[in-house]
Amino acid sequence: MASGIKDKVAILGMGCSKFGERWDAGAPALMREAFDEALADAAIEREAIEAAWFGCCFDAVNVGNSAIPASTALRLDGIPVSRVENMCATGTEALRSAAYAVASGAVDIALAIGAEKLKDTGYGGLPQPYKGTFNDMWLPVNSAPAGFAQLASGYRARHGIARDELKRAIAHVSWKSHQNGVLSPKAHLRKAVSMETILEAPMIADPLGLYDCCGVSDGAACAIVTTPEIARSLGKTELVTIKAIQLSISSGVESTMSEWDGSHVPNTRRAVRRAYAEAGIEKPRDELDLIEVHDCFSITELVTMEDLFLSEEGQAVRDVLDGFYDREGPGVPCQVDGGLKCFGHPIGASGLRMAYEIYTQLLGRAGERQLDSPSIGLTHNLGGVPFQGIAAISILGLK
């Protein structure tokens, strides 16, 4: 196996816009917020950036396709800029591309920026992605919550869990994130929500109610990466390095063959196994200090706890209800910034927003929500749907 990129790439600076219903800001303005913060953090001039990757998902309601919207917004003149898109894993894809460019020695300093302007659609929820002319012929036109809600039926069938018990566990997932979001100034939703409100909310896709679904927001986040040596030469003393970035994408096995039982996301398991190996993590439940996972829907976060090998199979309900993933809990704090639940999910930005929180926590800059000296954290994105997924994992740590 290849040696991987562990500790070959350091984060020089990061930025994150305020997430929310940004009626005041288009995608270029959101990008600028994140980019200005990252440049200041990195303490470099924009001319030092040698290549950039721009992640955004919905070109139709956003900025249009290609990387030109990013290169013009940020005035990146003449350098290579590429647009990447891999559904909800888009942000992490941008980071992965920039990190690989630095690790390969192709460039010294690279930029990854993700942005999504979702609130120019005129309605709530995500736009319906185009699935191609052939899939149009046969694939049902269902929403994102409908794709993920089916995990609940599969999980219940596999583990023999009563509907009410699972509903309570996923409600706790959302309750916990709302508690955390209160402490997160850049989050979209910053209100605590009671369990009763969550449990009694209108149904979106059975059994997911309104509060089982993440918000829909505008936002941007970015990272400037370089080698640890260059970072030190630029005066950085405390370094956050990339320990692993892995991606796993479905070949159609789950949705076409008869083995998968609908209870978990095989791609997350495959991506994280490789990421733990790349980062040298053997006991994630003991070793990880915090995680930011893809809680597009509460059920996704719950099964992800097993897919990341943090909870034993069938035990995520118990761990969640025991508060293992709560901020003040005994275990691994999850979504300490409020997660997608409170930040919303501007697709292209989310993966980088998660990395921003890990980075901020590792450097002890998280203010009110700062955890007690964490040294390693994990982000998880899940694009597509559980049965045809794109799982992206990154692990960041102090060097």
Residue 382 binds other proteins (CB under 8 A)? no
Contact yes or no for 209/203 (Cβ under 8 A) = yes
260-319 residues in contact with other proteins (CB under 8 A) are: 261-262
What is the C-alpha separation between 111 and 371, in angstroms, rounded?
28
Distance, in Å, from the CA atom of 101 to the CA atom of 229, rounded to the nearest integer, reads: 15
Task: Choose between 35 and 58: whose C-beta lies nearer to other proteins.
Answer: 58
Question: Residues 157-196 vs other proteins: string with x where CB under 8 A?
Answer: x---------------------------------------
- Given a contact cutoff of 8 angstroms between Cβ atoms, the answer to whether 218 and 116 are in contact is yes
Q: Are 394 and 376 in contact (CB under 8 A)?
A: no
Check: CB of residue 396 under 8 Å from CB of residue 377.
yes
Q: What residues from 140 to 159 belong to the interface with other proteins (CB under 8 A)?
A: 140-143, 145-146, 149-154, 156-157
Q: Are strands 203-205 and 208-209 parallel, antiparallel or unpaired?
A: antiparallel
Active site residue 214: no
* Cβ pair 222, 349 in contact under 8 A: no
Read off the tokens for 104. Answer: 């390969």
| C-alpha to C-alpha distance for 95 and 257, rounded to whole angstroms | 33
Instruction: Find the part of the chain contacting other proteins (CB under 8 A) among 46-54, 131-139, 283-291, 341-349.
Output: 131-139
Closer residue to other proteins (CB): 60 or 68: 60
CA distance linking residue 40 with residue 230, whole number of Å: 17
**Beta partners for 1?**
none
CA–CA separation, 338 and 350 (whole Å): 12
Residue 88 catalytic?
yes
Stretch that binds other proteins, among 27-35, 80-88, 251-259, 272-280 (CB under 8 A): 251-259
Length of the chain: 399
206 lies in the site for other proteins, by CB under 8 A: yes
- Identified binder of other proteins from the candidate list 3, 45, 78, 137, rule CB under 8 A: 137
251 near other proteins, judged by CB under 8 A:
yes
Residue in 172, 178, 188, 345 annotated catalytic: 345
- Spot the catalytic one: 16, 56, 57, 88: 88
Stretch that binds other proteins, among 47-55, 130-138, 285-293, 327-335 (CB under 8 A): 130-138
CB of 254 to other proteins, least distance (A): 9
Cβ 284 to other proteins shortest distance, Å? 26
Q: State both tokens at 341.
A: 């639940």
Give the residue numbers annotated as catalytic, written as ranges.
Answer: 88, 345
Please report, as ranges, the residues that interact with other proteins according to CB under 8 A.
Answer: 121-123, 125, 128, 133-134, 136-143, 145-146, 149-154, 156-157, 202-208, 251-253, 255-258, 261-262, 387
